[in-house]
A and B are shown apart, each in its own frame.
Chain A
Amino acid sequence: MVATNPERPRVLLYEGRSSKPMDVALRRQLVPSLLDRGYTVTRITQTASLGNLGHTELIVLGNFEQQPELSSDNAALRIHTRDVSSDTFETLMEYIEGVAQGVSQARPHWKPWFPVIDYDRCTNCMQCLSFCLFDVYGVNQANQITVQNQTNCKTDCPACSRVCPEVAILFPKYKAGPINGDEISQEDLRREAMKVDISSLLGGDIYSMLKDRSIKAKSRFSKERDDDRALKERQRCLDKLNSNVQSLEIPAEVLSSLPSLDQIQAKAQQAKHRAEQALAQQASSRESTSGGPSEDPSTTRPSH
């Protein structure tokens, strides 16, 4: 088992047998700093046994009266022990970062924005798959909707969550509920009931409307000579555009980077086709299992 964050060693505050607790001020400064830099930090007190979280490097910090004897079921674990009794925050960070640099590559960039599906609520209706133009969604072998390409997701765009009729798509870093995972209120449910079905949105060609408005906004912007006026105008256009798609909360950056209308329509058709195919396969497999016609997936929640 290898943790996918191996570029950061795990840091262990050892305050167990034959050691004294770390200096309070040092500990208070050190731990949040390490966590903010992407380290996993563990403190053990009673036991000398470590859970295996998949790291290959372990830095053990403590005020040792004698060297700690630690046991782990991870045979590949390399242990770096450091007595911190004469360390300052700076010297300790330097030591830890030194170990990390020696054993790891640069930390890859990660944007904290991707959808998570609440399968207690998801009805596998495939509206998210049909809606998303960036291939974030796909279906697994059981023809169940799944997040397949999370890195394709556009930062700050919760539009798929907005069109989900069951409030089943979460963005944990979103500012407000229920999209951030907060409990769903009666008011949320009432709002969801008023949502327009995505197929009718597609029928009404929401994408061509979005693209058209985006082109107009860009065109007006390019004709402007005065920078201030241009900026104001662009903002006005974006505001206007936003007001039309306000309920979807698609960021202006995403709108202005949409591909051509033909490409959008082709994408939408492809996504719709994939969704229909998955639903048909799911219905057919249900039929063959139950020996009878399947239930309508748009009204039935899969059991998990």
Chain B
Amino acid sequence: MSQTRPILYCRCAYAKVVPEDVKDQVLERLLDSGEPFESVSDLCEMSARKDPGLIPLSKQEGLRIVACYPRAVKWLFSAAGAPIDPSSIQAGRIEILNMRSDSSDAICSKLGIPGGSDPESDALQRD
């Protein structure tokens, strides 16, 4: 199931607030996984520019956003005029994964990407 949900990865290229090793490892494993994905240079910058490209992304059913704190991501989209439906977040239809607080293993496990040592990841792979 998780394999078919779209992924949006944010590189947070304009600041060093996301640990480099986490964002590098997540991207590397995403690339190696063969999964399709969308990746952007910096969601903050897109929000600041009110980039209309965020609108179709915010409406993507099942989207998993790999970025930073969910509260920040939610309001960055909103500030750009591309609000994420709060019920989609509550129901888990749109998921925000936090590279500032979680390990690369934990993120990849939630994405269903193989290679992590997280037990949850192993369980997902077995499924």
Contacts and interface: CB of A to CB of B under 8 A. Distances in A.
B41 A35 contact: yes
A25 to B, nearest CB: 11
B39 A180 contact: no
A116 B27 contact: no
A173 B52 contact: no
A40 B45 contact: no
Interface residues of A, number: 50
A173 B13 contact: no
B1 to A, nearest CB: 16
Interface in A29-43: 31-32, 35-43
B57 A110 contact: no
B41 A173 contact: no
Given A32-B11, A170-B71, A116 B101 contact: no
Interface residues of B, number: 45
B71 A40 contact: no
B75 A110 contact: no
A43 B100 contact: no
B51 interface: yes
A229 to B, nearest CB: 34
Interface string A13-53: 00100000100100110011001111111111111000111
Nearest to A170: B72
A181 interface: yes
A28 B25 CA distance: 10
A169 to B, nearest CB: 10
Given A46-B36, A175-B17, A4 B41 contact: no
A128 B69 CA distance: 23
Given A38-B13, A45-B36, A182-B101, A116 B53 contact: no
Given A4-B50, A24-B32, A38-B13, A110 B45 contact: yes
A123 to B, nearest CB: 15
A79 B11 CA distance: 24
Interface in A230-271: none
A110 B48 contact: yes
B31 to A, nearest CB: 5
Contacts of B49: 4-5, 110
Given A5-B49, A32-B24, A118 B15 contact: no
Nearest to A55: B53
B69 A114 contact: no
Nearest to A175: B17
Contacts of A44: 36
Given A28-B31, A116-B72, A181-B68, A5 B46 contact: yes
Contacts of B52: 1-4, 54
Interface in B39-95: 39-42, 44-53, 55-57, 60, 68-73, 75-76, 78-79
Instruction: Give 6 nearest A-B pairs by CB, closest first.
Output: A181-B72, A181-B69, A53-B53, A35-B11, A112-B14, A4-B49
20 contacts: A1-B52, A1-B53, A5-B51, A28-B32, A31-B39, A35-B13, A40-B38, A45-B36, A51-B56, A51-B57, A53-B56, A55-B53, A110-B45, A112-B42, A114-B44, A116-B76, A119-B75, A170-B71, A173-B44, A180-B17
